[in-house]
Amino acid sequence: MTWTLIESASEHDATLELYGKDGKFMIRANGLELMNGFHHESETALGAFAAGLAPSDGARFLVGGLGLGYTVAALVAALEGRGTVTVAELSSAVIAWFERHLKASVLSRPPANFAIVNADIAALLAGPGRYDVIILDVDNGPEPIVAAANAGLYGRAGLGALHGCLSDRGIALLWSGFESADFATRAKEAGFAVTCEPFRRERADLHHYIYVLTKDDARRSGARDTNN
C-alpha cells in the first residue's frame, strides 16, 4: 500500500503534507520526509532520554517541534506528572493534524503540566535561565528544511540564545540525521560542552544522532566528547 495524501498546508515558507498508510502517518516538508510514524524509535528514545536529565521534580522542558508527537509523548510518559513541558510548534496545521489524527493514540490524556503553543521556538529562546532541558527537533538536523529562518537556530546567534535561556546546569538536545562538524564547533564556541551520541539504527540506511549540548562540564557522564 502506498502513502495517501490526507491534508496539506502552506505556512511560513513551507509546504507541509500529511500522509497516511496502514494507520500510520508521515509528514513531508517541501517534498522531503520530515517524520515517519513507521520509524519513530529514535524520537521516542529522545523524549525518554530528556526526562532522565531533569535536575529536579520542577524541571522546565521546552520541546520544538511537535511533529507526530512521539518525542513529547515519551517525555510526558517518563516524567509521570513531574515538571512542566512546553511544546513550540511553528505550524498551526501540524497542531490541528495532531489533534485530529494522532492525539488519541499517541497522547490521549496529556497531563496538566503540558502545553502546546503555536510558535517559532526561536521566539521562546529568550530570557535568562528559563528552561532546564530543551529538545530541538524541528528539521532533520542542524540545517533548515522546514523554514529558512531555522538556519538562525544553528548559527552563532541562535546557539547563544539557546545557551542564555538554559539554567546554569541546563542541557539542550538536538536530533539529527547526520553529523555536522561545523555545528559542533559553533556550539562549543557558544559555551557548550558537546557530545554526539549515535542511536541504534532502525534501518540500515538510516543514521540517527543526538547532539547533547551541556552548559556545565561536570554533568558530562562519560559521554564521548566529539571532535566534530
Site residues (vs ligand SAM, CB under 6 A): 34-35, 40, 43, 64-71, 88-91, 94, 120-122, 137-138, 146-147, 150
Measured from the CB atom, is 70 or 131 closer to ligand SAM?
70
Asked if residues 139 and 173 have their Cβ atoms less than 8 Å apart, the reply is no
Question: Taking the complex as a whole, how short is the minimal distance between the CB of residue 222 and ligand SAM, in angstroms?
Answer: 26
Take residue 228 and report the three cell numbers written for it. 566534530
Q: Scanning the structure block, which residue is given the C-alpha cell 561545523? A: 182
CB of 216 to ligand SAM, least distance (A): 25
Give the CA count within 13 Å in the CB-facing half-sphere of 194: 23
**Taking the complex as a whole, how short is the minimal distance between the CB of residue 149 and ligand SAM, in angstroms?**
7
**Smaller CB separation from ligand SAM, 17 or 120:** 120
Chain-centre distance for alpha carbon 174: 6
Q: Which is nearer to ligand SAM, 12 or 219 (CB)?
A: 12
Q: How far is the CB of 73 from ligand SAM (least distance, A)?
A: 8
Alpha helices of the chain — where are they, by DSSP H?
41-51, 70-79, 92-97, 103-106, 121-124, 151-154, 156-165, 181-189
Of the pair 64, 83, the CB lying nearest ligand SAM is at 64
| Least gap, CB of 96 to ligand SAM (angstroms) | 12
* 54, 81, 196 from 76: Cα distances, Å: 12, 7, 24
Which of 151, 181 has the CB closer to ligand SAM? 151
Is 213 strand, coil or helix? strand
